[in-house]
Amino acid sequence: MDEITARANDFYIAIVNWLEVNLFTIESVTQLGIVLVLYIISYGATRSLSPFIHKVLEDKIFYQKSEKFWKALYLPLIWWLAVFTAWQIMESLGNSIILLRMASSLISMWVVLSFVTLMINSESISRLIRVIAWSLVILNIFGLLVPFINFLGVTTFSIGGNTVSILAVITGVATMIVLLWLAVFVSSLIETKLRQSSNVTPSARVLLSKLSRIVLVVFAFLFAISSMGIDLTALAVFGGAIGVGLGFGLQKVVSNFISGVILLLDKSIKPGDVIEISGTYGRINKLAARYTSVISRDGREHLVPNEDIITQPVVNWTFSDNKVRRHLPVNVSYNSDIEKAMALMLKAADDSARVIKNPEPKVLIKGFGDNGIDLELRMWIRDSENGVSNIASEVYLDIWHKFSDGGIEFPYPQRDIHIVSTKGLPGKAELI
């Protein structure tokens, strides 16, 4: 502890000495004033230049794709150019330039960090990168970067029999963050390439993309742990504990994960299929590791556990063929012209744009009911993902109009009541 306190005191003394030598002088104040004035000028130039460039280049594709980079880099680039020019001028006149050179380095670091962090979608990771980078820059300015690194390297502690330094931990964490980001980025590229490949089935695309992401993330994690100097065999106990936890507490999670892998391998469902399960009808939007996303016709997204799809009956309307046949029962009166009614029903099906012509629609007589003749219109559609109830409603409405214009009657329920007088009981009646 005394050694750490002494090192910290040395850092403090070094910082104070640097400030006295390099900052608290007339030349330093002059250079700081120049940097501040150039910032104000650069800010005004940015406010004027940004709308002009946007107006000129807003129709260009390259500008539309990189607009956020341009807007973030206008000010630091103009400021850096102005400070660098002032640095060169002051140096040519033989004046002190230490703060101008330092400001130029800091602004250039700002440019690089802005460009790098804009490429990262995670705000927390971007903030962490900025904090670490600026901390290293400040330490380097005061000449404390090398001593600080040496201090982290000699400060060690033990983990499971392994001696690990703070520097190794920081290096390992930074390596892990970078490698995990690279793993996710590479897996996204693989997923994009698989999505563009017409020779790979939708289920295989999802399976390959998930496997590539898992493998890359696992390798990134193991490499980062190894870079810390930790023996990977020390993870055996940790892996055993995870196995016990999976066996007792995560049965459903593991079951859903294995079910998801089975669904991808047996190709029973795939993204884009129209399925019906437990009263839920919709299009499969995504096959995840734990659940399957099904979007219904009303826009609600149902997250169905993969285990339910494996263990419960599933109606896949587009499993082997996109064509789906609809059965529309219609009851007509015995007084109606049956041949005309069947012809009108066929005409109503043919008039719908969603009903395909091959196989052609058919009308069958299903039987003679109590109230009328039972007919059934059978028609095929190819776009079940657009709904199967709405097409039935559309054709039913057309049948109603055609029956009304053609004199075809829909029967009303009929019941015959026979009244028989009971002998010997005048005034009494029996209903049969």
User: Residue 432: pLDDT band by 50, 70, 90 thresholds?
Assistant: very low
Instruction: Verify that 242 and 310 share a domain, yes or no.
Output: no
pLDDT at 210: 74
Q: What is the pLDDT at residue 32? A: 79
Torsion sign, CA atoms 164, 165, 167, 169: positive
d(CA 292, CA 272): 12
- Within a domain: 426: no
Q: What pLDDT shows up at residue 397? A: 93
pLDDT, mean of residues 354-382: 89
Residues 185-223: tens digit of each pLDDT: 787 787 777 777 766 666 667 767 777 777 887 787 777
Give mean pLDDT, residues 223-248: 63
Among 194, 229, 249, the domain boundary falls at 249
For residues 20 and 87, state if they share a domain. Answer: yes
pLDDT of residue 122: 65
Q: Is residue 417 part of a domain?
A: no
In a domain, 216, yes or no: yes
Same domain assignment for residues 194 and 145: no
**Interval 358-365 mean pLDDT:** 90
CATH number (domain holding residue 180): 1.10.287
Taking the model in full, what pTM does it have? Answer: 0.41
Domain, as residue range, for 274: 254-316
More confident residue, 2 or 72: 72
Give me the CATH number covering residue 306. 2.30.30.60
One domain for residues 272 and 334: no
Predicted confidence band at 18 (pLDDT cuts at 50, 70, 90)? low
% of the chain with per-residue pLDDT over 70: 75
Residues comprising the chain, all counted: 432
404 CB contacts (<8 Å, ≥6 apart)?
A: none
Judge if 53 and 129 occupy the same domain: yes
The most confident of 161-170, 183-192, 387-396, by mean pLDDT? 387-396
Question: Pick from 271, 194, 182: which is nearest to 224 by CA?
Answer: 182
- CB-facing half-sphere around the CA of 405: CA atoms within 13 A: 8
> DSSP H helical segments within 197-279, as ranges?
202-227, 235-248, 251-266
DSSP codes, 159-176: ETTEEEEHHHHHHHHHHH
Q: What six digits make up the tokens of 192?
A: 């994009």
Six token digits for residue 32: 């700081």
Confidence class of residue 19 from pLDDT cuts 50, 70 and 90? low
* Residue 359 pLDDT > 60: yes
Residue 249 pLDDT > 70, yes or no? no
Residue-averaged pLDDT of the chain: 76
Please, which pLDDT band fits residue 65 given cuts at 50, 70 and 90? low
Structure tokens at 245: 């936890």
| Final residue belonging to a domain, choices 265, 298, 316 | 316
pLDDT confidence bin for 308, thresholds 50/70/90: confident
Average pLDDT over residues 363-384: 88
**pLDDT at 11 > cutoff 70:** no
Q: Would you say residue 285 lies in a domain?
A: yes
- Indicate which CATH number applies to the domain containing 402: 3.30.70.100
Domain boundary among 218, 233, 249: 249
Q: How far is CA 206 from the centre of its chain?
A: 13
Which comes out higher in pLDDT, residue 397 or 298? 397
Question: Is 113 inside any structural domain?
Answer: yes
Assess if residue 430 is contained within a domain: no
C-alpha span between 423 and 415 (Å, rounded): 25
Q: For the chain, report the end-to-end CA distance as a whole number of angstroms.
A: 107
Alpha-carbon distance of 285 to 282, in angstroms, equals 9
Segment 48-71 mean pLDDT: 72
Contact predicate 417/430, CB 8 Å: no
Residues 58 and 167 both lie in one domain: no
Buried/exposed 317-343: b ≥16 CB within 10 Å, e otherwise: bbeeeeebebebebebeeebeeeebbe
Rounded mean pLDDT of 76-94?
83
Distances (CA, A) of 296 to 97, 273, 286, 388, 401: 68, 12, 13, 12, 30
pLDDT tier at 362 (50, 70, 90 boundaries)?
A: very high
pLDDT at 427 over 90: no
Pair (280, 345) in one structural domain: no
Average confidence (pLDDT) over 124-142? 72
- 113 and 64 in a single domain? The answer is yes
What is the per-residue pLDDT for 399? 92
- 98 and 11 assigned to the same domain: yes
Q: For residues 27 and 77, state if they share a domain.
A: yes
Q: Range with the lowest mean pLDDT among 48-57, 202-211, 373-382, 402-411? A: 202-211
* 261 and 335 belong to one structural domain: no
Tokens linked to 244: 């016990």
Provide the number of structural domains found in the chain.
Answer: 4
Number of helices (H), then strands (E), belonging to the chain: the values are 14, 12
**Token pair 């290096």: residue:** 171
Is residue 431 pLDDT above 50, yes or no? no
Q: Are residues 48 and 76 in the same domain?
A: yes
Residue 414 falls within a domain, yes or no? no
Mark out the alpha helices in 281-425 (DSSP H runs): 306-311, 338-351, 389-406
Name 212's Cβ contacts closer than 8 Å, sequence gap at least 6. Answer: 186, 187, 190, 191
Mean pLDDT of 392-396: 91
Looking at the domain assignment, is residue 221 inside a domain? yes
